[in-house]
Amino acid sequence: MQDRWDLSFLYQGFEDPAFQRDLGRAVELMDAVDAALKAENVSDAERLEAILDADEALSAVIDRLWSFVGLTLSVDATNETAARYDDRLSMMGNRMSLLTSAAVRFVGQLPDVEAVIASSTKLQSVAYAIRTMAREYRHTLPEPLEPWILEMKLSGGSAFSQLRDKLDAGHLVDYRGEQLPLAAVRGLAYDPDPAVRRDAYEAELASYKKIELPMSYCLNSIKKEARTLAIAHDYESVLDMTLQESRMDRQTLDAMLDAIVEYLPHFRRYLRAKAKLLGHEGGLPFYDLFAPVGKDGKTYTVEEARQILSEEFGKFNPEMAAFMEHAFDARWIDLYPREGKSGGAFCASVHCDDRSLVLTNFQGSFSDISTLAHELGHAWHNRCAAGLPYALLDVPMQLAETASIFNETVLAWQVLSHAAPEQEIAVLESGLMEATQTVVDIYSRFLFEKEVIETRADHAMSTEELKDAMLRAQEASYGDGLDKDIRHPYMWACKSHYYSSGLNFYNFPYAFGLLFGKGVFARWLEKGEAFLPEYNALLRSCGSADIADVAASVGIDVRSRDFWRSSLEVIRKDIDRFCELAANRG
């Protein structure tokens, strides 16, 4: 099986005349948007139609260019040609942002936006996007300032974000005398051998000394910029900006976080039970968070992973299984870790071609299979949105994880349904391990990021302060579930999520996604096959309404704490069963 993805459907390379042509075409289309914005002697509706048409064509070209450059860089961080085009596209992105802001100003200043929408069928089809622009108008920058602020972001937050990626990709860890990429060493946390896990953790922590200073500058600078921008855009806080930009309200966030805090003691109970199984007294040492438990501690090849996905998804939705097979056959996936390739996993959509590209660092654990199910869930979400205008593709982070979490949950549920009693504990554990990351660890990341942003009003945090803040956040979240002396003070240096310039609090959306996905899963359990068309329609609508409204379309009230409790109850049942099985083994 081919283990690297194939990008030739985009371009043959940077020298490909089609690539150069599209670069030129992007500039022409930006001129076209500009011309439409300035058109005279046309009605407001005609002008808006022309703006949106040109913008749609521009989005498709940029999608191709950006995908090719970004995906190339993600597996080859030292590719200088790609880096040069990345810079060039960033500069184009700035002009696009200016054009978008101009369009927002145009819509925001319309005397009666609803009348304009009502006068055109074309505008009605993207009404939500137009209404969102009208709302955004309240937070646009004063026009003369805007180009300068955008320009400064390139040498500010964006530059620090790029530096962070380079530090991460080029970072080698001295593990047992061998120089290994960080992602490979972190992957050893899943190894069945306890000595490997501990050595890998110690080697990883020791290695951060080399990069902690530049990493702390990246983090401090990106979060300082976020504060400045929140003020400049007239938001009450960075969190308020994040919520409004992702179409979520404070009531929903508070309802979710309150329910999470209520359920933390259950997660800690699970962690202590796992610690006991692994022979520890009290809390779990950090390096054993991902330790395999039970009979399923074996490793899988990619071929085996593919077969498991195909079989298990085939039982509930043959269409999904066929889709997954296609993703492997059509070389949508870059599978294994290697030097210069970024860590973790992601799925990128190339909407204009109805394709997705998936990056993973597959090492053979059950969790790696689950990651494939997760990323291919994103790909399915993209497939459900096929043919929609780009204007309705802006899915908030919270809903972006719906299909991926749903897939993970289905995989575990299917495997559990025919698991031998001995395998049950392994599969339950794998699910709980992920859920703990997504609820408990994410809660610690939320607390940490909030503290960094708040402290940044006063000063840049030193590496010692950052480590201390991380340990306190872990204490508040994991409590006695973790060994007090064996935690991870450098989580801020290894998680890329803190370093996305322009994207803050990229943590609670994961918790939202997990718990929302569980809620959607519960509805599938209730309704069976009949739910699938409803599910696909839900995925298609994620960029076409506010979060609370999208959720309400499948009968979920995300503003009520009870909804989140009911999702957490699903996890609590797994925790109870796990603790029961663990006690029997002990």
The residue ranges that bind Zn ion (CB under 5 A) are 404
Least separation in angstroms between CB 510 and Zn ion: 8
Residue nearer to Zn ion on the CB measure, 216 or 246: 246
Please, what is the minimum distance in Å from the beta carbon of residue 346 to Zn ion?
Answer: 7
Q: How far is the CB of 378 from Zn ion (least distance, A)?
A: 6
DSSP state of 12: S
Reference 32, options 60, 53, 62, 63; nearest CA is: 53
- Minimum CB distance to Zn ion, residue 438 (Å): 10
User: Which residues have CB under 8 Å from 40's CB, separation 6+?
Assistant: none
CB of 371 to Zn ion, least distance (A): 9
State whether residue 302 is helix, strand or coil.
Answer: helix
- Report which of 32, 11, 21, 26 is spatially closest to residue 60, judged by C-alpha positions: 26
Output 150 or 514, the one with its CB closest to Zn ion. Answer: 514
Q: Which CB, 187 or 489, lies closer to Zn ion?
A: 187
Compare residues 256 and 405 and give the one whose CB is closer to Zn ion. 405
Q: How far is the CB of 519 from Zn ion (least distance, A)?
A: 17
Centre a 10 Å sphere on the Cβ of residue 115 and count the other Cβ atoms it contains. Answer: 11
CB 341 within 8 A of CB 72: no
Quote the least distance from Cβ 361 to Zn ion, whole Å: 14
> Distance between CA 389 and CA 394 in Å, rounded?
10
Count of helix runs (H) and strand runs (E) in the chain: 26, 5
d(CA 144, CA 155): 19
Instruction: With beta carbons less than 8 A apart as the criterion, state whether 541 and 493 touch.
Output: no
Question: C-beta of 491: minimal distance to Zn ion in Å?
Answer: 18
User: Which tokens in the block code for residue 323?
Assistant: 């889709």
Orientation angle between helical segments 302-316 and 402-417, nearest 10 degrees: 90
Q: 180 has which bridge partners?
A: 173
Nearer to Zn ion by C-beta: 221 or 438?
438
CB 256 → Zn ion: shortest distance, Å?
Answer: 18
> Strand pairing of 333-334 and 346-350?
unpaired
Q: Which is nearer to Zn ion, 404 or 567 (CB)?
A: 404
**388-411 core/surface letters (b: 16 or more CB in 10 A; e: else):** bbbbbbebbbbbbbbbbbbbbbbb
Tell me the closest approach of the beta carbon of residue 360 to Zn ion, in angstroms: 11
Smallest distance from the beta carbon of 507 to Zn ion, in angstroms?
13
**Among residues 403 and 426, whose Cβ is nearest to Zn ion?**
403
CA distances from 444 to 48, 102, 136, 261, 431 (A): 44, 39, 31, 11, 19
Q: 229 or 379, CB closer to Zn ion?
A: 379
Q: Which is nearer to Zn ion, 72 or 407 (CB)?
A: 407
Q: Which residue in the shown chain puts its C-beta closest to Zn ion?
A: 404
Residues contacting 363, CB < 8 A, separation 6+: 184, 187, 190, 299, 336, 337
The upper half-sphere exposure of residue 392, i.e. CA atoms within 13 Å in the direction of its Cβ, equals 18
Nearer to Zn ion, 237 or 500 (CB): 500
The smaller minimum CB distance to Zn ion, of residues 404 and 438, is found at 404
Q: Closest by alpha carbon to 554, among 585, 578, 573, 530?
A: 530
